Structure 1
Amino acid sequence: MTGRQGRVQLAVTALVALAVVVGVVLAGRGDSRPAAAPAGPAGRPAGATGTAAPADAPPVVVPGRPGEPAATRAAQEVRDAAAPRYNGLDVWYVRMMIPHHQQAVEMATLAPDRAADPRVRAVADRIRAAQGPEIGVLRGWLGARDLPAEVAGHDHGTMRGMQSAEAMRELAAARGADFDRLFVRMMTAHHEGAVTMSTDLLKVGADQTLQEFANAVAVEQSAEIARLRDLVGA
């Protein structure tokens, strides 16, 4: 191969590499969500290698090393190495929703020994079954990004729907129909707070996983509010 042919091949390889890079950048720019907050690391869990392409994705041209030809590989073998995107409001939502869910589980745990209406006990069982695992999901989201769960100096009692320590003591002391009425009233207010928090995040959040999580919370807890109100005419 002559020197001229070698230079032509190098130029072609460089152009292919540039086209691939530009294509990846433009694909990333297609996401119109807010950029990640600079204050928080946007890392991924240890060992993660990105997101695989769908099975029907077209093949990808992968540039070779200098002087080597480009290669065509199946899209499933090429992963997006970009860090997951989130913003400060995503982080705030997760940190607030953990104690919010914890209080709902605490309230629901009181029902088996205190509720008179079996339907109240059934609602409480559903709340424990749903929100307990969701706390684990939220903690995992923070852990994957090396973010602490606690917010120093924050009073969780100021969150929407959170019940005061006095109200929680009153609920724990109640029995029978009195417990049922208190539980329905307090859990309804608690769910309404979670729905508002989740609806707010849907407007401003950047993380796709949290968008799906918040949407599920808003839908499921809105339905739960309707069931609670039907129980004792709250």
Structure 2
Amino acid sequence: MTTRQARTWAGVTLAAVLLLVLGIALARRGGPATPVARPVTATASPTPSPTATGGAAPPVIVPGRPGEPASVRAGQEVRDAAPPRYNSLDVWFVRMMIPHHQQALEMAALAPDRAADPRVRAVADRIRAAQQPEIGVMRAWLTTRGLPAEVPDHDHGTMRGMQSAEAMRQLAAARGAEFDRRFVRMMTDHHQGAVAMATDLLKVGVDQTMQEFANSVAAEQTVEIGRLGELLPSS
């Protein structure tokens, strides 16, 4: 190999070595940063309700009447078929029955000092024990619904079973057997009026609480009429 050839070979070798060193240096420093893809977290979208999408509402178990099995009905059907909470006839019944009960309490309050028959006094005691709390129930029913109890310019004396002011004065003036006869006659008529009012509401009312209340009034005062009839059959 000549001196010129040796120099050429040495130059090529040196260039190769430099390229190799440069490649290693670049590899250690690292090349351009490659973006790293971040994992994407999927967010579950809320499941729309059946009613929002127009689908059927969940079924509802509807209790049956006493002695009857429960039934399963579509939720939308039950909601649509639900009656209103109360109607004007429910309100009228409550507003009329409050003063009706109040007069019964006035009559019963006269018995302890005027009745001769202890059974008459016992009936009066039961009336006070039953009807005073019932007035509270009816007033609370109106208050809960934001309804006043008073009916302006209404003559309560026209209600069935209500006793006239004169009859009430005569009852207050009576004593002994005379009081007993008047009390039995007047309270029987009074109870019959209450039973008629309650029976009417059972036909036209829609409020469940008042339906139960009217049914209770009709049943209890019918029993009381029977007791009154046993006291003085000839009155």
TM-score, length-scaled by structure 1: 0.71
1:202 aligns with 2:198: no
Percent identical: 68
Structure 1 residues 25 and 153: alpha-carbon distance in aligned structure 2, compared to 1, 3 A threshold: farther
Residue type at the aligned position of 1:119: R
CA-to-aligned-CA distance 1:33-85 (integer Å, 9 cap, x gap): 4x4xxxxxxxxxxxxxxxxxxxxxxxxxxxxxxxxxxxxxxxxxxxxxxxxx0
Aligned length: 179
Q: How far is 1:101 from its partner?
A: 0.1
- Corresponding residue for 2:120? 120
Q: CA RMSD in A?
A: 2.2
CA distance in 2, matches of 1:156, 1:198: 16
Q: How far is 1:105 from its partner?
A: 0.4
CA distance in 1, matches of 2:210, 2:165: 29
CA distance in 2, matches of 1:21, 1:89: 34
Q: How far is 1:14 from its partner?
A: 1.6
- Corresponding residue for 2:64? none
- Corresponding residue for 2:30? none
Q: How far is 1:27 from its partner?
A: 1.8
CA distance in 2, matches of 1:25, 1:131: 40
Residue type at the aligned position of 2:213: F
CA distance in 2, matches of 1:187, 1:117: 15
Deviates more, 1:22-31 or 1:132-141: 22-31
Ranked by relative contact order (alpha carbons within 8 Å, sequence separation 6 or more), the top structure is: 1
CA distance in 2, matches of 1:208, 1:113: 40
| Residues 85-234 of structure 1: pairs in structure 2 closer than 5 A | 85-233=85-233, 234=235
Q: Higher Cα Rg: structure 1 or 2?
A: 2
Q: How far is 1:164 from its partner?
A: 0.3
Structure 1 segments (4+ residues) deviating >3 Å: 15-25
Residue type at the aligned position of 2:92: W
Unaligned ranges ≥5, structure 1 = 36-84
Q: How far is 1:6 from its partner?
A: 6.8
CA distance in 1, matches of 2:195, 2:51: 47
Q: How far is 1:26 from its partner?
A: 2.3
Q: How far is 1:17 from its partner?
A: 5.0
- Corresponding residue for 2:81? 30
Unaligned ranges ≥5, structure 2 = 1-38, 60-73
Residue type at the aligned position of 1:14: P
Q: How far is 1:129 from its partner?
A: 0.3
CA-to-aligned-CA distance 1:121-141 (integer Å, 9 cap, x gap): 000000000000100000000
CA distance in 2, matches of 1:28, 1:202: 23
